């Protein structure tokens, strides 16, 4: 190994779980589960191909209740019947030497109506999401009742219990990318006037309640050390929307919980704040300075080369997640570890699907989304 990259391979203890290096597979939806919500053979093979080098694998998100299914071909975690399916995935990842973390979520107002019961989508308030393509209105959700909010909080706990029983090493709460946990925190999607909305403090109530419920379940059910992480998006483009100032208040509150890491969801690692702070540094550097001494921070976003990764680690963040690049080159970690970083592939070829073990639905999604992945041809 080139000594320059040795820090990427230092072991690190997340909570009470030691991972063999600082690198994780980022959570990425692959649209490839079976119709009944069980994990498919294609999905298992995709994870096996990408689990050998990294210290930790964070899976694609699984929904905690049937009202929260956010994608076609998303695997399920909302009933005990799904524990054998979840166990199959956890075992496949761990057999390759990585820790397995299950990402859990509810899609809220971003759920396609055809995927949820009665076509009824739910959120903090009856406010539709803005269409990122600017064409046509997205459906208006129904505001959740107090009883439904409490039920969904319990559902996050129940899916955590299933993750424990299935043999996962942890869960990651998906509070990012505009899904339900973020919808409660966002002033765009949360216009409530009860204890779950209004003030910044009230908008934090649901995310913090989910954290507390999950941690309670872990304390009751986990017989081995079990990781609890939280992923969040630091800003929203909408007005009103989450600003860096809001996020710094959120991470302050999250850092007081017994979370094992905070995962900052970004497309570009070095992206700077849009609004809310007078600071020209990257969002990740600001967040690391704010709470890094209290809780480990995980960074992600357009890390393609070994130099990209070591530069990111040198920003002070102790953990890195790599997503698109581990789809493009599943042997990335092994190549860096064995001094072959010059062999890393950073662009996807249209002829590579079979060699890279990419399931058909994910492959089609990549080909039909120009600009999402760097393409060689």
User: pLDDT for 203-240, tens place per residue?
Assistant: 999 999 999 999 999 999 999 999 999 999 999 999 99
pTM here? 0.98
Q: Give pLDDT, residue 377.
A: 79
CA distances in angstroms from 251 to 18, 162, 259, listed in the order given: 24, 27, 11
Name 76's bridge partners. Answer: 63
**Read out DSSP for 138-202?**
PPPPEEPPHHHHHHHHHHHHHHHHHHHHHT-SEEEEEE-TT-HHHHHH-TTT----STTSSSHHH
- Whether the pLDDT of residue 281 is over 80: the answer is yes
User: pLDDT for 112-158, tens place per residue?
Assistant: 999 999 999 999 999 999 987 776 779 999 999 999 999 999 999 99
- The yes/no answer on whether domain 3-121+150-177+200-367 falls in CATH 3.60.15.10 is no
The residue-averaged pLDDT of 303-323 equals: 98
The residue-averaged pLDDT of 255-261 equals: 97
Q: Give pLDDT, residue 137.
A: 75
User: pLDDT for 316-371, tens place per residue?
Assistant: 999 999 999 999 999 999 999 999 999 999 999 999 999 999 999 999 999 999 99
User: pLDDT for 49-82, tens place per residue?
Assistant: 999 999 999 999 999 999 999 999 999 999 999 9
Distance (Å, whole) CA 51 – CA 25: 8
The residue-averaged pLDDT of 297-303 equals: 98
167 falls in which pLDDT band (50, 70, 90)?
A: very high
Q: Are 64 and 152 in contact (CB under 8 A)?
A: yes
Distance (Å, whole) CA 270 – CA 302: 9
The residue-averaged pLDDT of 271-286 equals: 96
**Read out DSSP for 77-120?**
-SSGGGHHHHHHHHHHHHTTT-EEEEEEE--GGGS-GGGSGGG-
Options 179, 230, 261, 269, the catalytic residue:
179
Q: Give pLDDT, residue 135.
A: 65
Residue with tokens 């989304």: 369
Grouping H, G, I as helix, E, B as strand and the rest as coil, residue 24 is: strand
- Give counts: helices (H), strands (E), the chain: 13, 12
Q: Residue 231: enclosing H or E segment and its boundaries?
A: strand 227-232
- Whether the pLDDT of residue 298 is over 90: the answer is yes
179 a catalytic residue: yes
Q: Give pLDDT, residue 78.
A: 98
CA distances in angstroms from 117 to 111, 121, 151, 171, 369, listed in the order given: 11, 9, 16, 26, 28
Grouping H, G, I as helix, E, B as strand and the rest as coil, residue 23 is: strand
Q: 37 is written with which tokens?
A: 């919500």
Q: Which of 167, 178, 270, 174 is nearest to 222 (CA)?
A: 167
Q: Give pLDDT, residue 206.
A: 99
Q: Give pLDDT, residue 133.
A: 72
Q: Give pLDDT, residue 131.
A: 84
Largest CA distance in the chain: 57
């Amino acid at each position: 190994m080139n000594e320059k990259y040795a820090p990427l391979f230092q072991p690190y203890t997340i909570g009470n779980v030691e991972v063999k290096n600082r690198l994780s597979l980022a959570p990425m939806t692959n649209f490839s589960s079976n119709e009944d919500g069980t994990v498919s053979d294609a999905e298992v093979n995709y994870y096996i191909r990408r689990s050998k080098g990294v210290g930790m694998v964070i899976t694609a998100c699984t929904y905690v209740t049937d009202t929260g299914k956010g994608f076609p071909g998303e695997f399920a975690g909302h009933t005990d019947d799904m524990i054998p399916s979840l166990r199959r995935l956890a075992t496949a990842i761990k057999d390759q030497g990585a820790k397995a973390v299950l990402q859990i979520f509810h899609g809220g107002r971003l759920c396609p109506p055809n995927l949820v019961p009665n076509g009824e989508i739910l959120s903090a308030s009856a406010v539709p999401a803005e269409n990122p393509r600017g064409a046509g209105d997205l459906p208006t959700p129904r505001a959740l009742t107090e009883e439904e909010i409490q039920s969904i909080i319990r559902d996050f706990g129940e899916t955590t219990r299933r993750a424990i029983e299935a043999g996962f090493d942890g869960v990651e709460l998906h509070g990012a990318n505009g899904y339900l946990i973020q919808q409660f925190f966002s002033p765009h999607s949360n216009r409530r006037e009860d204890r779950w909305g209004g003030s910044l403090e009230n908008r934090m109530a649901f995310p913090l309640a989910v954290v507390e419920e999950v941690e309670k379940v872990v304390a009751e059910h986990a017989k081995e050390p079990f990781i609890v992480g939280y992923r969040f998006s630091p800003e929203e483009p909408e007005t009103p929307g989450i600003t860096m100032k809001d996020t710094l208040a959120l991470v302050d509150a999250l850092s007081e919980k017994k979370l094992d890491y905070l995962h900052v969801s970004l497309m570009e690692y070095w992206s700077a704040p849009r609004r809310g702070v007078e600071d020209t540094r990257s969002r990740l550097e600001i967040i690391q300075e704010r709470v890094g001494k209290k809780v480990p921070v995980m960074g992600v976003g357009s890390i393609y080369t070994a130099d990209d990764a070591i530069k990111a680690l040198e920003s002070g963040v102790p953990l890195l997640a790599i997503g698109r690049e581990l789809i493009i080159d599943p042997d990335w970690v092994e190549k860096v570890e064995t001094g072959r970083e010059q062999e890393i592939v950073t662009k996807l070829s249209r002829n590579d699907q079979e060699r890279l073990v990419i399931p058909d639905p994910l492959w089609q999604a990549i080909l039909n989304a120009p600009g999402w992945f760097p393409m060689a041809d």
